[in-house]
Structure formats: C-alpha cells, structure tokens
Chains A and B, each alone.
Chain A
C-alpha cells in the first residue's frame, strides 16, 4: 500500500493526493501533525523536514510533488 505522509491545509500534499486519485492509486494517508508515530516514521524515511512524503516500502520515497519521480516510484 502506498503511504502519503501529510498534514491538512498543505497545498503540495493536496496535489499529490489528487494525482494519486487521478491515477487510481490507492493510498493510506498519515497526518503527521497529530500522529506522533507517523511523524517518527517520516523522520526515519526521509530525514527531511517537509511534507508530503510518498513511499511504498519506507526506503524509496518522493518528496513534495514530483510527477516524474512519483511515476517512477509507482510504475505509473
């Protein structure tokens, strides 16, 4: 399952989710503003201090919205 680490009211998070919906990709969303466990996972995955972060396996990930990288990560 694709995981999207995001927060509410974040325009780039919305864009990533919109793109995944457009491509019929099912995803699970984690609000790192409220979910401490998800926030810790996010730090471990990217080490960066930004959202959104999209991953499948927790190793390979895409920061923010990058269509080419999302297509490559998710074989779109």
Chain B
C-alpha cells in the first residue's frame, strides 16, 4: 500500500527531555508538531531512579519527570508517536522528508533530538549472555538478582546510579572500572560507597564473560597488579558511556569524528530548517538542564525559520 503524505510544521526526532521540551514550545507557539521516538519516550533519563539536579524538584524519578513534560507538551497540542519507526530521511535547504513505516512526512522544519545510545560491552560474549546475565536496564532486570552477586561495569553517574539501585536486591555488588578513579560526582559516589556490600575494582578490565547457559563468571585483568583472575558473578549491568544516534542523518548533516552533529548554540545545522538539539549536538556539557535549554532554543528558532 502506498504511504500517505502528510504536511506539518515541525517534526521532532527523538522524545527525550530535549525533544519533549522542544515540543512543549512549538506546541505553545501553535505549530503543528509531531515527535517521533524509536525507543522509549523520555530517552536515557527514563532509566534514572532518582534525579536531584533538575531545578524545581528536590528528588524525582526519571519516569515521573518525563511523564510531567510529556503531559505538558501534549496539553499544548504536540503529538507523540513511539511506534512508527523512521525508515529514511531526506534533507535539503528547500525540502525536508521524514519517511516512517506508515507515512511520508513533509515538515517545514526538523529538530533532531535523538540523543545518545548506551555503549555496548565490547566483548564477543556480550550477545550470548544478553538477558542471560548481561543487562542494560536495571529497572527492568535488577529484580532478577535478589540475593545474588552482581557487578556494574562503568564509573560515571549512570553506573553509580545503577549500583545504588541494585543494592536493593544484591547480596554483593562490584563496581568494575578501567580507570584509576570513578568519574561520578562526589555525592553520588559517597552514597553508593557507604554501603558495605559494595566493592570497587579500579584499573580493572573485563576480558571475558563465561558460564554454562547463563553468566557465571567474569575474567578480569587488574592493571595495577598485572594479574588476571576470575570473579564469580550472577549478573553484570553495563553502563560504560554513550554514543550519539546520528548515523541516519550523516548523508545530509555535518557530523564530527565522534558522531556528534556540528551545530552551535543556535542549534542550526548545515541544512536550513534542520536543527540539532540536546546531547546529539557537539558540546562540552550534557545535562538534563542543557537538554531542556537546547530544546527551547531549537523550537524558538524553528518557529522563526518557518515564519520567514
């Protein structure tokens, strides 16, 4: 069946805090707005079980914050489709096309807010043990490890957040980090490390994951001692950073060597009417507040672009 064409003012690609904030603004400016999301509405932050650095909330779950912004965006008329995947885009200064499985959209402006995807554990065994001991979603799968030995690989805020959450279930928790020091902020580290079940293995790399049907042990390399040893674990949760979601746009949009979209503070890309906002944009600081700020900037300048 031939796909229907639909014209509208703005398509926002990606429904994290950036995309939702942009939708809230474009909705309030009475622009017809559609937000397309391939994975989870809310993006990375939906997995955070406690957020303490978003102004106005002393502490809030990621999913609750997302729900509030989603409701706000929809209240002002933005539509969100989280089930219709994009299959192709075509961007020129004159015309923008976003083709999904069901429709061919022809928006006047596009805001790319696709954010980042979690980096996969770079081990050949990752696929074999995925969901059989190796996990990426602590909220979905953490409960499977009641009274078990669990490891988290990574040393940033997301990894420590996962570790803190998993201490609810585990009887022993290791944090494995390849660098000499954790990179999470001091307060987050303090709260995790005060738990006596937590043991941090610094300067340590995972060389191999093994087990019969499910994960049973990790082979670790201690760089300080130049020693390899086995660590029995039942589950491994991976939080080793993120990579930008930009491959779909690289034919049209200028991207740096790390995959970030080259756009300045005005979120303008090399194509007129296509904006890049949030974590996907080449920038130094990536926080929830900067995500919301970028969504705001992109929405306001998209409205100006359409008006002109």
Contacts of A11 in B (CB 8 A): 40, 42, 46-47, 63, 137, 139-140
User: From A19, which residue of chain B is reached at the shortest CB distance?
Assistant: B83
With a cutoff of 8 Å between Cβ atoms, the chain B residues found around residue A37 in the complex are none
Cβ contacts B55-84/A at 8 Å (1 or 0 each)? 000000101000000000000000000110
Chain B hits for A50, CB < 8 A: 131, 135, 137, 140-141, 144
Task: Specify which of A9, A18, A51 is in contact with B141 (CB 8 Å cutoff).
Answer: A51
- In the assembled complex, B193 has its CB within 8 A of some CB on chain A: no
Q: Taking CB as reference atom, which chain B residue is nearest A7? A: B143
Nearest CB in chain B to that of A32: its residue: B143
- Asked if B132 CB lies within 8 Å of chain A CBs, one says yes
User: Which residue of A7, A9, A22, A48 contacts B83 across the interface (Cβ within 8 Å)?
Assistant: A22
A residues near B63, Cβ cutoff 8 Å: 9, 11
Task: Please tell me the size bucket of the interface on B.
Answer: 20 to 34
Q: Which residue of chain A lies nearest to B135 when distances are taken between CB atoms in the complex? A: A50
For B47, the chain A residues whose CB sits under 8 A away are 11
Q: Name the residue of chain B whose CB is nearest to the CB of A47.
A: B213
CB distance from A40 to the nearest CB of B (A): 13
Contact of B131 among A13, A18, A22, A48 (CB under 8 A): A48
Return the chain B residue nearest A42 by Cβ. B144
Chain B residues with CB below 8 A from A13, complex form:
140
- A52: chain B residues at CB < 8 Å are 140
**Residues in B neighbouring A47, C-beta threshold 8 A:** 132, 213
B40 touches A33 (CB 8 A): no
A64 cross-chain contacts in B, Cβ below 8 A: 131, 140
Contacts of B214 on A, CB cut-off 8 Å? 49
CA distance A50 to B140 in the complex (A): 7
Kindly provide the distance from the CB of A11 to the nearest chain B CB, expressed in whole angstroms: 5
Identify B40's interface contact among A12, A32, A48, CB under 8 A: A12
* B250 → chain A closest CB, angstroms: 25
Q: Mark B136-149, 1 if CB is under 8 A from A, else 0.
A: 01011101110000
Within 8 A of B (CB), among A1-40: 7, 9-13, 15, 18-19, 22, 32-33
B83, B135, B137, B143: the one contacting A67 at CB < 8 Å is B83
B14 contacts partner chain A, Cβ-Cβ < 8 Å: no
Contact of A63 with B131 in the complex, beta carbons under 8 Å: yes
Q: Which chain A residue lies CB-closest to B214?
A: A49
A8 CA to B132 CA, complexed, in Å: 21
A49 x B140 contact (CB < 8 A): no
Any A CB within 8 A of the CB of B235: yes
A49 contacts B139, C-beta separation under 8 Å: no
| A7, A11, A12, A50: residue with the most chain B Cβ atoms closer than 10 Å | A11
With beta carbons under 8 angstroms apart, the residue of B131, B132, B140 that contacts A7 is: B140
Query: 9 closest Cβ contacts across the A-B interface?
Result: A50-B131, A49-B144, A10-B140, A48-B131, A11-B46, A50-B141, A33-B143, A11-B40, A12-B140
Chain B interface residues (CB < 8 Å from chain A)? 40, 42, 46-47, 49, 61, 63, 82-83, 85, 131-133, 135, 137, 139-141, 143-145, 213-214, 235
Extra contacts besides A47-B132, A51-B141, A63-B131 (19): CB < 8 Å: A7-B143, A9-B49, A10-B137, A11-B42, A11-B137, A12-B40, A15-B40, A18-B82, A19-B83, A47-B213, A48-B132, A49-B145, A49-B214, A50-B131, A50-B137, A50-B144, A51-B140, A52-B140, A64-B140
